[in-house]
Chain A
Amino acid sequence: MSKRRLKGWKEIPMGGMVTEPGSSVEFDVSAWRTFKPVIDQSKCTKCGLCWIYCPEAAIVIKEDGRYEVDLTFCKGCGICERACAPRAITMVKEESA
């Protein structure tokens, strides 16, 4: 991911208030993960269950209709693997991937 310039103490709103909605997009949680979901595109039926169940909205639908994981926001919870009806998603340990 691109390196964002983080705001300094003089720029942040007083008292740690968050004044812009949806600021969690600035929050990289990829380091939280031990396992990451890997989608076998040949098994994927594009039913969208992973997209629905993902609590972090980390499943993205590409223009060509493919489902992919945005690994900046995936915490590796594995809910998508459980939700995937055709068993196209496998949680793979980070190091071995």
Chain B
Amino acid sequence: MKRLGLSGNYAVAYAVKMADVDVIAAYPITPQTTIVEKLSDFVANGELDAEYVNVESEHSAMSACVGASLTGARVFTATSSQGLAYMHEVLFMASALRTPIVMTNVNRALSAPLNIWNDHSDAMAERDSGWIQLWASSAQEALDTTIEAFKIAEDVLLPVMVNIDGFIVSHTYEPVTLPDEGEVKRYIPSKPLTNRLSPRLAYSVGVVGPPEYYYEMKYQAVDAMERSRQRIKEIEADFNRRFGKDYKDINAYYMEDAEYALLAMGSMTGTARVVAESLRRRGERAGVVSIRWFRPFPFERLAEILEGVRGIGVMDRAVTPGGPSNPLFVDVASGLYGMAERPVLQSFVAGLGGRDVSTDEFGMMFSKTKEAARSGRAGPCIYVGLRE
């Protein structure tokens, strides 16, 4: 096993190389660029035998990925923010046509104003596109999750988006342990090209689905996503066994006896843990819940983890203007609706457009959540760090 100092983006590139992809079609965009830059190096110097397709836009990148994937090729792309938004319509085709594409989305705010820094608005805008969404919060997790993503995508025949926080994960160098290449090959063997599109089998793909058929065709992808819950669990367990890891749909920290907790996705959960640790030292029963699978959303396990917890602060790094609340909050709230004794939910928005979220601010969120837990009532959404 090799240990290297890698940025989150380079860790992803190493994972893609180990996955021995056949086709990469990508368009550069900050903060994703160094992933495909590294991959183009690997291809150019012969370390990775793949077709590297230079395209003129993200719309074309995703279109090329869909076409390549239909031939049975193992396909990868990466993007961020405006690039993901530009792929929007093709994302729905990728899922409904059941193409197992793996894409890294390096989370970045959407314009305007133009902003290259991190928030989750890009991924949240695509939550209904039928893609599996996994969230990684470190370079090591980015590498491991990317390897898992190929296995998941090809098993359930749905595209998988692996999200990593722009700059915070993508450009931060960390010690990363590369898994054994042979073991990766055994975990995700390079398949001979399947005959999904072949001159020997006549069929049409991407056809018109009139009202008599569209509904049934769409439902197939809905069903695949539902069934993926169980399969991802099994695939992840297999990964953990082979590579000595402990990945789950939800990472729960100090939740066994927690009175209140903060819930978030991505790198913010790291700071939340540090603050929770110091609260614990002061005798506070604070916990942290980190959502790793956003689609399919693990609401049943979330309810199990939150059993007996009195208050949850849900941190959104994106907004849903005019909605009842923000995207992660809405999912958590509706996911917990069936619980007999639901915790009080306090909504927070933090870190939009790359705004730093300090440990003091995490302390404030914990204490507001505790107040809500004790009083049994939550206030309106708190926009953390917003200047008036």
B contact residues, range:
20 to 34
Given A9-B223, A21-B202, A16:B212 Cβ within 8 A: no
**Is the CB of A65 closer than 8 A to any CB of chain B?**
no
Given A7-B216, A9-B216, A9-B219, A16:B209 Cβ within 8 A: yes
Q: A residues within 8 A CB of B215?
A: 9
CB distance from A72 to the nearest CB of B (A): 14
Q: B residues within 8 A CB of A6?
A: 212-213
Across chains A and B, which 8 residue pairs bring their CB atoms closest together, nearest first?
A9-B216, A15-B98, A16-B217, A18-B204, A19-B203, A15-B97, A9-B219, A18-B207
**Is the CB of A14 closer than 8 A to any CB of chain B?**
yes
**Considering the chains assembled together, what is the distance between the CA atoms of A18 and B157 in angstroms?**
18
Would you give 28 A-B contacts (Cβ < 8 Å), ordered by A? A6-B213, A8-B216, A9-B215, A9-B217, A9-B219, A9-B223, A12-B213, A12-B220, A13-B203, A14-B98, A14-B157, A15-B96, A15-B97, A15-B98, A15-B157, A15-B217, A16-B96, A16-B97, A16-B205, A16-B206, A16-B209, A16-B220, A17-B205, A18-B204, A18-B207, A19-B202, A21-B202, A27-B210
Chain A: CB-nearest residue to B216: A9
Chain B: CB-nearest residue to A6: B212
A contact residues, range:
10 to 19
**Considering the chains assembled together, what is the distance between the CA atoms of A14 and B213 in angstroms?**
12
Given A6-B212, A27-B210, A14:B220 Cβ within 8 A: yes
Main secondary structure of the interface of B (DSSP, over half): loop
Interface residues of A (CB under 8 A from B): 6-9, 12-19, 21, 27
Given A6-B212, A12-B213, A27-B210, A17:B220 Cβ within 8 A: no
Q: B residues within 8 A CB of A13?
A: 203
Chain A: CB-nearest residue to B217: A16
Residue from A6, A13, A14, A19 whose CB has the most chain B CB atoms within 10 Å? A14
Q: B residues within 8 A CB of A14?
A: 98, 157, 220
CB distance from B162 to the nearest CB of A (A): 22
Residue from A12, A17, A21 whose CB has the most chain B CB atoms within 10 Å? A17
Q: What total of A-B pairs shows CB separation below 8 Å?
A: 48
**Considering the chains assembled together, what is the distance between the CA atoms of A16 and B92 in angstroms?**
13
Q: Are A12 and B216 in contact (CB under 8 A)?
A: yes
Q: A residues within 8 A CB of B205?
A: 15-18
Given A6-B212, A27-B210, A12:B204 Cβ within 8 A: no
What string of 1s and 0s marks CB contacts (under 8 Å) between B175-217 and chain A? 0000000000000000000000000011111110110110111
Q: B residues within 8 A CB of A19?
A: 201-203
**Considering the chains assembled together, what is the distance between the CA atoms of A6 and B217 in angstroms?**
12
**Considering the chains assembled together, what is the distance between the CA atoms of A41 and B330 in angstroms?**
67
CB distance from A3 to the nearest CB of B (A): 12
CB distance from B129 to the nearest CB of A (A): 15
Q: A residues within 8 A CB of B219?
A: 9
**Considering the chains assembled together, what is the distance between the CA atoms of A31 and B99 in angstroms?**
34
CB distance from B316 to the nearest CB of A (A): 33
Q: Are A16 and B157 in contact (CB under 8 A)?
A: no
What string of 1s and 0s marks CB contacts (under 8 Å) between B254-272 and chain A? 0000000000000000000
Q: Are B204 and A17 in contact (CB under 8 A)?
A: yes
**Considering the chains assembled together, what is the distance between the CA atoms of A27 and B209 in angstroms?**
11
CB distance from B206 to the nearest CB of A (A): 8
Q: Are A15 and B220 in contact (CB under 8 A)?
A: yes
Chain B: CB-nearest residue to A11: B216
CB distance from B248 to the nearest CB of A (A): 29
Q: B residues within 8 A CB of A16?
A: 96-97, 205-207, 209, 213, 217, 220
